[in-house]
A and B are shown apart, each in its own frame.
Chain A
Amino acid sequence: MNLDIPDETFLALIGHTGSGKSTLIQHLNGLLKPSAGSIKMGETLLEAGGKKQDLKPLRKKAGIVFQYPEHQLFEETVEKDIMFGPRNFGMAEEEAKNTASRVIEMVGLPQTVLSKSPFDLSGGQMRRVAIAGVLAMNPEVLILDEPTAGLDPAGRVEIMDLFYDLHQKNKLTTVLVTHSMEDASKYADEIAVMHKGELYLHGKPSEIFNERKALQEAGLDVPETVQFLLKWNEKSGQNLSLSDFTIEELAKSLGQALKKRGS
């Protein structure tokens, strides 16, 4: 497969279970080595059969939030756990402490949490602490492996909005692995669909959603809003644009369409 992710893009990586999404993202920071082909990440080049190199700079640059990241917590206090990443990458203790208190606010937790044991927190809070631990490394590329799995709907929206905010404010490049076409349509600039270990479709969301047949073949479907638009067009004979797929845009274009009909 051949995939180019430009700087500062929000890319959604979608695919059925076992389609190779997780394998792909683990290559991005050298946790898995390519058996053929190569990966270029900024200045670093990983090649099949290439010689051993220090992967720390690469790992600092690309932070991965794994599925159920709360399982990786281990320290006595939240602060120490958040400091683990920065300290590994050579940040001074004082600076790491400051970073910890900065990122804990970013993930929407109060400063008082810092002195608590991570194991006394609720599941949702633990998830936020673990995410803070990755953000503390100050990565330029943020890789998210289904960060909202197992959260309640409100928690999902909060966490995703948090990542989207960060993406825009800090000009990050974000790769979001997800099952949810809704999330992909809401946040992503580009969508890459994986199927059976291959890159299946790649393009802007509106382009992808025009390929409903192909998506269904890969075990996926277009998001609910696009399904609604398609049905609407079919029943009303109108031709609303499929690119208005966020809820807000959909509401607007529906309003206009209804007005047109009324007049």
Chain B
Amino acid sequence: MLQNVIIGQYYPASSPLHRMDSRSKLIAAFFYLFIVFLANNWITYGLLIAFTAVTISASKVPLRFLYKGLKPILILVVFTMLLHIFLTKEGDVLYKAGWLEIYEGGVIQGIFIAMRLLLLVLMTSLLTLTTTPIDITDGLEHLLGPLKKWKLPVHEFALMMSISLRFIPTLLQETEKIMKAQMARGADFTSGPIKERAKAFVPLLVPLFVSSFKRAEELALAMEARGYRGGEGRTRLRALEWHNRDTFALVLLILLTISLFLLRS
């Protein structure tokens, strides 16, 4: 019942975007978050949409799949759009009924804000859809590497992240197993008043905590037994490689930024 939960939402495929270095993708996505705010007229938004559309098609992620990921935030997008349409009072009045007045500026503003949100979410979901969680963690560790100078335990954070990601499926499996075992003993997780239902989760949570602690201890022991000493001087099985396509992508992004600066009003 729980195996349908997808976390990280990686879409396996072989596309130029999948093959890009996770560092360049992280930088690009982060950079994109800022330049989206440069757009303020039809031309600049058009440019951003075109750029995003090209990126999506280069990623080979089916639109249906993207739409599924967008669904939860669509409500938010529509809500902000309506808020702007009703509350912004600029330009000519387009429609008037009693106290309700809709201005041209409001409609335009509503569309722009909705597009901005959509573009932001699309680009960031593309990052997680085309990069495995492990690659993202590796990339982050590299990019945050300079912070080690200020004694920030960057490697340890990255390790924590990859360990948690690794154990999500295990934990889900175990939850299902223990749920079934308790249901076989007559536990009921789905009916009854809320207070009773909350109580019913104790027999599920206690075993889960116990086994998680046990597993953490075993993992720590296994790592120590194999001589793990942290990130110092550690080499990698899968080294990150910066290719020409990564440089090309970043150059493209810089060109986009320059054009946005030139075309914005």
Contacts and interface: CB of A to CB of B under 8 A. Distances in A.
A31 B174 CA distance: 15
Contacts of A60: 186
A48 B9 CA distance: 32
B206 to A, nearest CB: 4
User: Which one of A29, A71, A84 has the highest number of Cβ atoms from chain B below 10 Å of its Cβ?
Assistant: A71
A118 to B, nearest CB: 10
Interface string B183-203: 111111000000000000011
B181 A69 contact: yes
Given A71-B207, A72-B182, A72-B207, A66 B202 contact: no
Contacts of B177: 66, 71
Given A26-B180, A66-B177, A66-B180, A74 B206 contact: yes
Nearest to A55: B183
B184 A66 contact: yes
B180 to A, nearest CB: 5
Interface string A73-104: 11100000000110011000000000000000
Interface in B182-240: 182-188, 202-203, 206-207, 210-211
Interface string B43-77: 00000000000000000000000000000000000
A66 B180 CA distance: 9
Contacts, number: 57
B186 A85 contact: yes
A59 interface: yes
User: Which one of B181, B188, B203, B206 has the highest number of Cβ atoms from chain A below 10 Å of its Cβ?
Assistant: B181
Contacts of B38: none
A60 B185 CA distance: 7
Contact of B185 (A26, A119, A137): A137
A134 interface: yes
Nearest to B184: A64
A60 B188 CA distance: 13
Contacts of A31: 180, 183-184
A74 B181 contact: no
Interface string B109-120: 000000000000
A205 interface: no
B180 A59 contact: no
A74 B207 contact: yes
A66 B181 CA distance: 7
B134 interface: no
A15 interface: no
Contacts of B181: 64, 66, 69, 71-72
- The DSSP consensus for interface residues of chain A is helix
Interface string A29-45: 10100000000000000
A71 to B, nearest CB: 6
Contacts of A69: 181
A147 interface: no
B140 interface: no
A73 B207 contact: yes
Contacts of B178: 71-72
A74 B202 CA distance: 8
Contacts of A29: 184
Nearest to A86: B186
B217 to A, nearest CB: 14
Contact of B210 (A26, A88, A119, A134): A119
Contacts of A59: 183-186
A133 B184 contact: no
Interface string A245-260: 0000000000000000
Contacts of A133: 185
User: Which one of B174, B183, B186, B211 has the highest number of Cβ atoms from chain A below 10 Å of its Cβ?
Assistant: B186
Nearest to B1: A32
A244 to B, nearest CB: 38
A89 B186 contact: yes
User: Which one of A31, A69, A89 has the highest number of Cβ atoms from chain B below 10 Å of its Cβ?
Assistant: A31
Contacts of A66: 177, 180-181, 184
Interface in B152-192: 174, 177-178, 180-188
Contacts of B207: 71-74
Given A88-B187, A119-B210, 10 more contacts: A31-B183, A59-B185, A64-B184, A71-B177, A72-B182, A72-B185, A74-B206, A75-B206, A84-B182, A88-B185
The 4 closest A-B pairs by CB, nearest first: A88-B186, A74-B206, A85-B185, A72-B181
9 contacts: A31-B183, A63-B184, A74-B203, A84-B203, A85-B185, A88-B186, A88-B188, A133-B185, A134-B185
